Amino acid sequence: MKSDLKPDVCVVGLGYIGLPTAAIIARAGCKVQGIDVSQKVVDTINRGEIHIEEVDLDGLVHGVVSRGLLSASTTIAPADVFVIAVPTPFDKDHAPDISYVLAAGRSVAPVLKAGDVVILESTSPVGTTEQLRDFIAELRPDLKCPGLTRETPDISIAYCPERVLPGRILEELTNNDRSIGGISPRCARKALAFYKRFVRGACVTTDARSAEMTKLVENAYRDVNIAFANELSIVADSMGLDVWEVIRLANRHPRVNILQPGPGVGGHCIAVDPWFIVHGAPEATPLIRTARGVNDGKIRHVIAKAEELVAAHPDARVACLGLAFKANIDDFRESPARLVAATLARRFGHRIHVVEPYAAELPIEFTDTGASLIDLDTALEDCDILVVLVDHDVFRVVPLAERSGKLVYDTRGIWPDQPRAAEQREPGLRLAS
C-alpha cells in the first residue's frame, strides 16, 4: 500500500461495528468491500439499506453504496487493508470463543499479498492478535509474518479495539481516541497511518497485547463500578432508603462519582468482556468476578421484586417499559430488561404488556405466553402497574400527570418526581398519590 494512495479496504463482519466502520472508511474515499457470512446482510447492504438501527447510518450507507464506494459480498477479494469485526462470544463456562476471529483469518489469508495490513477490531482476550498471526502464518507459509522473522515482514498485523456507544457510533467512530497495538512497532505505525484517514481523535500506538487488555479493562472498569451502584441499591432496599437520593447526595463530594443502578448489566460487551480477564488470570481476579456476580444477582433481585408486586395485585394490568439492554437502541442481546419481562410474561401471561418502541415484535421467548407488545400511549391509558426496565428518552419524558394513580417499579430511577407510597418504603417502588 503506498501511503499517498487511498487503500482498498475489506471489512470482515458487517454488524453493529463493522458496517458503520465500513461506511465511514468509504466516506473517506476508500473503496470498501464488506464481507459477511449472512447473504441477507449482504443483499440488504447492496440495496443501500441497513439491517441494524443506528442514528444516521441509513443515509450514510445509502450514499456510499450508490456512489460505488461500498459493496458487500460473502466472498473475499484482494485489498490493501483488512479490518476484522466479527463476534467474540464466550461459551457456557465463560471461556472466550475466538473461532469467529480465526474463521475470518481463514478467509483473509488466501488473498493476502506483501504490503497488506490486517487489523483486528473484535474485543479479544489477550494474545488473540498473536494467535491470528500464527494462524495466518500457518495458512500462508510464503508470507513473512511480523514477530516470526528477522527480515522485514511482508504483512503488518495490529489490534485496534472499538469503544463506541450504540446510538452515537458514527460520531464516536470518528472522534474517540483509539489505542492501536501492533504485533511490532512497525505494524502499529502502518495501522496508525490507516486510522488517521478517518479518525479525528488521538490515535495512540502500543503493542497488541496491551491494546487487547486495554479494551477489556475499560469494560471491566464499568462493570465493577456499576456493580457498586447495584449493590448499593439492594442495600438501600433493605434499609428502606431511596438509592438515587443517596447517590445524588454522595456525588456532591468532589471526588465521588457513583454510577446509576439498574436492572442488571446487559449487552454483549460489559457483561461479557470482564470474563475474558477472569479467564486469563482466574486466581488474580476476585473483584472482577464478584462484580459480574453482583450484576447478575441484581437481575434476580429485580425479577423477585417485580413478581412480588404483580402477584400482590391480581387484577392489575402490567406494562414492562423496555427490552433493550440500554437506552435508545434496538439491541436486545444479553438484556436484563428482556429477561425480567419474559419471566413476568411466562408467569403472568396476558396480564403482561411490553412497550418497546425499538421492536416490531416480541422476541421468540414471549411466544405462547399471552403477553403482548403495545405502544406507550396504550400502556399509560390501560395499565395499572408500570415496570420501568429501560431508560429510553421516550419513557423519561412521560409527565407525572400521565403516571398518576399507577403503581410504578422504576428500576432506572427515571422518574424522581414519582411520589412514594407512605406504606411502601422500598426504593424504586413508588405509588403515585
Residues noted as catalytic: 215, 269
Which residues in the 71-100 window bind ligand NAD by CB under 6 A? 85-88, 100
Q: In angstroms, what is the minimal distance from the CB of 128 to ligand NAD? A: 10
Q: Compare residues 12 and 323 and give the one whose CB is closer to ligand NAD.
A: 12
Among 104, 108, 112, 398, binds ligand NAD (CB under 6 A): 104
Provide the grid cell at 47.
440495496
Q: In angstroms, what is the minimal distance from the CB of 333 to ligand NAD? A: 8
Between CA 86 and CA 94, with CA 91 as vertex, the angle to 5 degrees is 110
Among 1, 9, 14, 407, binds ligand NAD (CB under 6 A): 14
Of the candidate spans 30-38, 252-260, 287-295, 372-380, the one that interacts with ligand NAD by CB under 6 A turns out to be 30-38
Which residues in the 142-171 window bind ligand NAD by CB under 6 A? 162, 164, 166
Q: In angstroms, what is the minimal distance from the CB of 235 to ligand NAD? A: 31
User: To 10 degrees, the CA torsion angle through 164, 57, 39, 96?
Assistant: 10
Count, residues near ligand NAD per rule CB under 6 A: 27
Which residues in the 288-347 window bind ligand NAD by CB under 6 A? none
Q: SS3 sequence, the chain?
A: CCCCCCCCEEEECCCCCHHHHHHHHHHCCCCEEEECCCHHHHHHHHCCCCCCCCCCHHHHHHHHHHCCCEEEECCCCCCCEEEECCCCCECCCCCECCHHHHHHHHHHHHHCCCCCEEEECCCCCCCHHHHHHHHHHHHCCCCCCCCCCCCCCCCEEEECCCCCCCCCHHHHHHHCCEEEEECCHHHHHHHHHHHCCCCCCCEEEEEHHHHHHHHHHHHHHHHHHHHHHHHHHHHHHHHCCCHHHHHHHHCCCCCCCCCCCCCCCCCCCCCCHHHHHHHHCHHHCHHHHHHHHHHHHHHHHHHHHHHHHHHCCCCCCEEEECCCCCCCCCCCCCCHHHHHHHHHHHHHHHHEEEECCCCCCCCHHHCCCCCEECCHHHHHHHCCEEEECCCCHHHHCCCHHHHCCCEEEECCCCCCCCCCCCCCCCCCEEECC
16 binds ligand NAD (CB under 6 A): yes
274 binds ligand NAD (CB under 6 A): no
Residue nearest to ligand NAD as judged by C-beta position: 15
Of the candidate spans 34-42, 62-70, 258-266, 292-300, the one that interacts with ligand NAD by CB under 6 A turns out to be 34-42
Among 1, 9, 11, 12, binds ligand NAD (CB under 6 A): 12
CA distance 234 to 253: 22
Among 9, 23, 36, 72, binds ligand NAD (CB under 6 A): 36
Of the candidate spans 14-22, 42-50, 255-263, 342-350, the one that interacts with ligand NAD by CB under 6 A turns out to be 14-22
Among 103, 111, 374, 376, binds ligand NAD (CB under 6 A): 103
Q: Compare residues 17 and 387 and give the one whose CB is closer to ligand NAD.
A: 17
Which residues in the 109-128 window bind ligand NAD by CB under 6 A? 122-123
Q: Compare residues 120 and 387 and give the one whose CB is closer to ligand NAD.
A: 120
CA distance 295 to 300: 9
Q: Compare residues 16 and 194 and give the one whose CB is closer to ligand NAD.
A: 16
| CB within 8 Å of 293: residues ≥ 6 apart | none
Q: In angstroms, what is the minimal distance from the CB of 11 to ligand NAD? A: 9
Q: In angstroms, what is the minimal distance from the CB of 167 to ligand NAD? A: 10
Look-up: residue for cell 434499609? 239
Q: Compare residues 36 and 223 and give the one whose CB is closer to ligand NAD.
A: 36
Q: Compare residues 192 and 272 and give the one whose CB is closer to ligand NAD.
A: 272
Of the candidate spans 33-41, 183-191, 400-408, 409-417, the one that interacts with ligand NAD by CB under 6 A turns out to be 33-41
Q: Compare residues 123 and 233 and give the one whose CB is closer to ligand NAD.
A: 123
| CB within 8 Å of 123: residues ≥ 6 apart | 88, 161, 162, 215, 216, 219, 269, 272, 273, 276
Which residues in the 210-269 window bind ligand NAD by CB under 6 A? 268-269
Q: Compare residues 88 and 233 and give the one whose CB is closer to ligand NAD.
A: 88
35 binds ligand NAD (CB under 6 A): yes
Which residues in the 405-424 window bind ligand NAD by CB under 6 A? none
Residues that bind ligand NAD (CB under 6 A): 12-18, 35-38, 41, 85-88, 100, 103-104, 107, 122-123, 162, 164, 166, 268-269
